[in-house]
């Protein structure tokens, strides 16, 4: 018999499970009118080439070693793919755990981070004395806050993320690197992407890093007189 005042232990709930029994993918169909069809036929018959540009998004992750200095060779991009934005975030002990929110990230005592594209560095100047505990993170917060404004090329009032500095520190410390203004030397060459990070203490166990690379990529559709090929 439990003593007066004892609180019975609460059993932890079982892990949740999602079963997908059916998946539907809606594909919109566009039916051109007669004028548009004629233009397509003429373009195909003339053996024309059509350049097509689009934004490519790639996400990579890696477990961080328990060290104070770390270099992550992210990937190698070849022309005509051109990296434009690189977003990095760290997360502690949230992978595969349903009791933790995987949409929340951590600063992990980070003091500096930068990106190397071949021999070119972004940003060129360190995030001097960055310290989240001492509220010294205004530059990285500013870079993250203006991302949508630059990415969508719209007014700040419309694109504002509405993330306060306090929310950024506690919930969304993401590091946004604007590499849109690349040197001419990088535009038609292979681009080696590396991320370098420095911490005030050894990184804790079970820290995972995520990086999203947003690139401009172009394809050419070439006609052989009957149909288009990439």
Domain boundaries, the chain: 52-216
Kindly state the average pLDDT of the residues 24-47.
88
Report pLDDT for 140. 93
- When pLDDT is cut at 50, 70 and 90, the band that residue 221 belongs to is confident
pLDDT at 164 over 80: yes
Of 158, 223, 199, 172, residue with least CA distance to 66: 199
Kindly state the average pLDDT of the residues 51-79.
88
Structure tokens at 74: 């992210």
- When pLDDT is cut at 50, 70 and 90, the band that residue 229 belongs to is confident
Kindly state the average pLDDT of the residues 150-162.
79
Report pLDDT for 209. 93
Residue 134, CA distances (Å) to 92, 166, 172, 200 in order: 20, 12, 17, 12
**H helix intervals, the chain:** 34-45, 138-145, 147-152, 156-159, 165-170
Kindly state the average pLDDT of the residues 180-192.
73
Percentage of the chain lying above the pLDDT 90 cut: 39
Report pLDDT for 152. 85
Q: For residue 209, report the phi and psi dihedrals to the nearest 5 degrees.
A: -110, 140
Rounded Cα gap, residues 75 and 194, in angstroms: 7
Report pLDDT for 15. 75
Q: By the 8 A CB rule, do 173 and 89 touch?
A: yes
pLDDT at 216 over 80: yes
Report pLDDT for 196. 94
CATH number for region 52-216: 2.70.9
């Amino acid at each position: 018999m439990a003593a007066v005042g004892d609180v019975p232990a609460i059993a932890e709930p079982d892990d949740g499970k999602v079963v997908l029994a059916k998946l539907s993918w809606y594909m919109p169909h566009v039916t051109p009118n007669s004028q548009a069809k004629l233009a397509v036929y003429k373009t195909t018959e003339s053996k024309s080439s059509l350049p097509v540009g689009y934004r490519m998004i790639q996400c990579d992750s890696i477990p961080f070693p328990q060290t104070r200095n770390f270099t992550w060779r992210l990937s190698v991009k070849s022309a005509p793919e051109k990296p434009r934005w690189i977003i990095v975030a760290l997360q502690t002990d949230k992978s595969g755990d349903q009791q933790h929110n995987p949409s929340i990230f951590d600063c992990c005592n980070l003091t500096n981070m930068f990106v190397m594209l071949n021999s070119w560095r972004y940003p060129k100047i360190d995030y001097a004395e960055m310290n989240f505990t001492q509220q010294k993170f205004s530059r990285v917060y500013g870079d993250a806050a203006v991302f949508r404004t630059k990415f969508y090329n719209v007014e700040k009032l419309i694109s504002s993320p509405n993330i306060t500095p306090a929310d950024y520190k506690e919930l969304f410390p993401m590091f946004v690197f604007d590499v849109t203004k690349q040197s001419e030397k990088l535009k038609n060459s292979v681009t080696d992407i590396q991320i370098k990070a420095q911490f005030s203490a050894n990184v804790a166990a079970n820290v995972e890093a995520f990086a999203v690379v947003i690139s401009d990529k172009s394809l050419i559709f070439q006609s052989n007189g009957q149909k288009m090929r990439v």
